[in-house]
Structure 1
Amino acid sequence: MATPIRFHIHAPAVPYFDAVLRAGSIREAARRLSVASSAVNRQVLTLEAELSANLFERLPAGLRLTAAGGVLAEHADTVLRDTERTQNAS
Protein backbone atom coordinates (compact mmCIF):
# COMPACT_ATOMS: atom_id res chain seq x y z
CA MET A 1 0.00 0.00 0.00
CA ALA A 2 1.35 3.44 -0.91
CA THR A 3 2.26 5.83 1.87
CA PRO A 4 0.05 8.94 1.70
CA ILE A 5 1.76 12.25 1.01
CA ARG A 6 1.60 14.49 4.05
CA PHE A 7 1.86 18.25 3.74
CA HIS A 8 0.62 21.34 5.46
CA ILE A 9 -0.57 24.33 3.47
CA HIS A 10 0.02 27.43 5.53
CA ALA A 11 -2.87 29.90 5.78
CA PRO A 12 -1.07 32.87 4.12
CA ALA A 13 -0.17 30.73 1.12
CA VAL A 14 -3.77 30.35 -0.08
CA PRO A 15 -4.60 34.06 -0.54
CA TYR A 16 -1.10 34.72 -1.91
CA PHE A 17 -1.52 31.94 -4.47
CA ASP A 18 -4.94 33.31 -5.39
CA ALA A 19 -3.53 36.83 -5.79
CA VAL A 20 -0.79 35.56 -8.13
CA LEU A 21 -3.38 33.63 -10.11
CA ARG A 22 -5.58 36.73 -10.53
CA ALA A 23 -2.71 39.16 -11.17
CA GLY A 24 -0.76 36.95 -13.55
CA SER A 25 2.53 37.88 -11.92
CA ILE A 26 4.19 37.79 -8.55
CA ARG A 27 5.15 41.45 -8.71
CA GLU A 28 1.58 42.59 -9.42
CA ALA A 29 0.16 40.27 -6.77
CA ALA A 30 2.60 41.73 -4.24
CA ARG A 31 1.56 45.26 -5.19
CA ARG A 32 -2.12 44.40 -4.75
CA LEU A 33 -1.42 42.73 -1.39
CA SER A 34 0.90 45.54 -0.23
CA VAL A 35 3.69 43.08 0.58
CA ALA A 36 7.15 42.42 -0.81
CA SER A 37 7.44 40.37 -4.00
CA SER A 38 9.85 38.08 -2.17
CA ALA A 39 7.15 37.25 0.39
CA VAL A 40 4.70 36.26 -2.33
CA ASN A 41 7.33 34.29 -4.22
CA ARG A 42 8.35 32.46 -1.02
CA GLN A 43 4.72 31.39 -0.39
CA VAL A 44 4.34 30.06 -3.94
CA LEU A 45 7.66 28.23 -3.76
CA THR A 46 6.67 26.73 -0.40
CA LEU A 47 3.40 25.44 -1.87
CA GLU A 48 5.22 23.98 -4.85
CA ALA A 49 7.72 22.24 -2.56
CA GLU A 50 5.00 20.86 -0.28
CA LEU A 51 2.98 19.58 -3.23
CA SER A 52 6.01 18.44 -5.25
CA ALA A 53 4.48 20.13 -8.28
CA ASN A 54 4.93 23.31 -10.25
CA LEU A 55 1.82 25.45 -9.89
CA PHE A 56 2.83 28.00 -12.53
CA GLU A 57 4.89 27.96 -15.69
CA ARG A 58 7.36 30.84 -15.48
CA LEU A 59 7.24 32.64 -18.83
CA PRO A 60 8.90 35.88 -20.00
CA ALA A 61 5.47 37.53 -20.17
CA GLY A 62 4.29 36.31 -16.77
CA LEU A 63 2.97 33.16 -15.19
CA ARG A 64 0.67 30.50 -16.60
CA LEU A 65 -1.22 28.03 -14.41
CA THR A 66 -0.22 24.37 -14.73
CA ALA A 67 -2.67 21.48 -14.42
CA ALA A 68 -1.63 21.05 -10.77
CA GLY A 69 -2.11 24.78 -10.27
CA GLY A 70 -5.61 24.47 -11.66
CA VAL A 71 -6.51 21.86 -9.07
CA LEU A 72 -5.13 24.05 -6.29
CA ALA A 73 -6.94 27.09 -7.74
CA GLU A 74 -10.28 25.31 -7.31
CA HIS A 75 -9.39 24.44 -3.73
CA ALA A 76 -8.19 27.98 -2.98
CA ASP A 77 -11.44 29.42 -4.34
CA THR A 78 -13.46 27.15 -2.08
CA VAL A 79 -11.32 27.95 0.97
CA LEU A 80 -11.52 31.71 0.39
CA ARG A 81 -15.29 31.64 -0.19
CA ASP A 82 -15.83 29.50 2.91
CA THR A 83 -13.64 31.85 4.95
CA GLU A 84 -15.69 34.85 3.81
CA ARG A 85 -18.96 33.06 4.60
CA THR A 86 -17.67 32.14 8.05
CA GLN A 87 -16.64 35.71 8.77
CA ASN A 88 -20.02 37.02 7.61
CA ALA A 89 -21.85 34.54 9.85
CA SER A 90 -20.23 35.98 12.98
Structure 2
Amino acid sequence: MRSGEQSGRDVLARSLKGQARRVGLGAALGCVHQLGEALVPVLIGVVIDQAVAGRDAGRLALWLAVLTSTLLSTVAVRAEEIHRSVLAGSSAA
Protein backbone atom coordinates (compact mmCIF):
# COMPACT_ATOMS: atom_id res chain seq x y z
CA MET A 1 0.00 0.00 0.00
CA ARG A 2 1.31 3.40 -0.94
CA SER A 3 1.87 6.20 1.51
CA GLY A 4 -1.27 8.28 2.03
CA GLU A 5 -3.70 5.57 0.86
CA GLN A 6 -6.29 4.25 3.21
CA SER A 7 -6.76 0.56 3.72
CA GLY A 8 -10.12 -1.07 3.27
CA ARG A 9 -10.27 -1.49 7.02
CA ASP A 10 -9.84 2.27 7.53
CA VAL A 11 -12.57 3.09 5.03
CA LEU A 12 -14.96 0.60 6.62
CA ALA A 13 -14.25 1.88 10.14
CA ARG A 14 -14.81 5.48 9.08
CA SER A 15 -18.06 4.56 7.32
CA LEU A 16 -19.38 2.67 10.32
CA LYS A 17 -18.52 5.49 12.69
CA GLY A 18 -20.37 7.96 10.50
CA GLN A 19 -23.46 5.73 10.33
CA ALA A 20 -23.35 4.16 13.79
CA ARG A 21 -26.96 4.95 14.63
CA ARG A 22 -28.29 3.56 11.35
CA VAL A 23 -26.08 0.49 11.51
CA GLY A 24 -27.19 -0.20 15.09
CA LEU A 25 -30.86 0.28 14.26
CA GLY A 26 -30.55 -1.92 11.19
CA ALA A 27 -28.84 -4.63 13.21
CA ALA A 28 -31.53 -4.47 15.91
CA LEU A 29 -34.34 -4.64 13.34
CA GLY A 30 -32.61 -7.55 11.64
CA CYS A 31 -32.41 -9.41 14.96
CA VAL A 32 -36.10 -8.83 15.68
CA HIS A 33 -37.00 -10.02 12.19
CA GLN A 34 -34.92 -13.20 12.54
CA LEU A 35 -36.39 -13.90 15.97
CA GLY A 36 -39.89 -13.61 14.56
CA GLU A 37 -39.00 -15.90 11.67
CA ALA A 38 -37.55 -18.46 14.07
CA LEU A 39 -40.65 -18.37 16.28
CA VAL A 40 -43.11 -19.21 13.49
CA PRO A 41 -42.50 -23.01 13.50
CA VAL A 42 -42.50 -23.02 17.30
CA LEU A 43 -45.83 -21.19 17.39
CA ILE A 44 -47.33 -23.53 14.81
CA GLY A 45 -46.37 -26.43 17.06
CA VAL A 46 -47.96 -24.70 20.06
CA VAL A 47 -51.13 -24.03 18.06
CA ILE A 48 -51.39 -27.70 17.16
CA ASP A 49 -50.61 -28.90 20.68
CA GLN A 50 -52.80 -26.43 22.57
CA ALA A 51 -55.77 -25.90 20.31
CA VAL A 52 -56.16 -28.44 17.56
CA ALA A 53 -55.27 -31.52 19.59
CA GLY A 54 -57.41 -30.32 22.49
CA ARG A 55 -60.31 -29.34 20.20
CA ASP A 56 -60.68 -26.01 21.96
CA ALA A 57 -61.94 -23.28 19.59
CA GLY A 58 -61.15 -20.48 22.05
CA ARG A 59 -57.52 -21.54 22.44
CA LEU A 60 -57.27 -22.01 18.68
CA ALA A 61 -58.42 -18.42 18.13
CA LEU A 62 -55.98 -17.15 20.77
CA TRP A 63 -52.96 -18.96 19.34
CA LEU A 64 -53.87 -18.08 15.77
CA ALA A 65 -53.99 -14.42 16.87
CA VAL A 66 -50.53 -14.78 18.44
CA LEU A 67 -49.22 -16.43 15.27
CA THR A 68 -50.78 -13.73 13.09
CA SER A 69 -49.31 -10.92 15.18
CA THR A 70 -45.87 -12.55 15.01
CA LEU A 71 -46.07 -12.84 11.24
CA LEU A 72 -47.31 -9.27 10.86
CA SER A 73 -44.54 -7.93 13.10
CA THR A 74 -41.86 -9.71 11.06
CA VAL A 75 -43.36 -8.27 7.88
CA ALA A 76 -43.49 -4.80 9.45
CA VAL A 77 -39.85 -5.01 10.54
CA ARG A 78 -38.80 -6.13 7.07
CA ALA A 79 -40.82 -3.32 5.49
CA GLU A 80 -39.08 -0.82 7.79
CA GLU A 81 -35.68 -2.19 6.77
CA ILE A 82 -36.57 -1.81 3.09
CA HIS A 83 -37.94 1.68 3.68
CA ARG A 84 -34.77 2.78 5.46
CA SER A 85 -32.55 1.35 2.74
CA VAL A 86 -34.56 3.18 0.06
CA LEU A 87 -34.31 6.44 2.01
CA ALA A 88 -30.59 5.95 2.54
CA GLY A 89 -30.13 5.30 -1.17
CA SER A 90 -32.08 8.39 -2.21
CA SER A 91 -30.26 10.67 0.25
CA ALA A 92 -26.87 9.39 -0.91
CA ALA A 93 -27.58 10.36 -4.54
User: TM-score category by the smaller chain?
Assistant: 0.3 to 0.5
Q: Which has the higher helix share?
A: 2
Name which one, 1 or 2, has greater alpha-carbon Rg: 2
**Higher relative strand content:** 1
TM-score using structure 1 length:
0.34
Structure ranking higher on relative contact order (CA contacts 8 Å, 6+ apart): 2
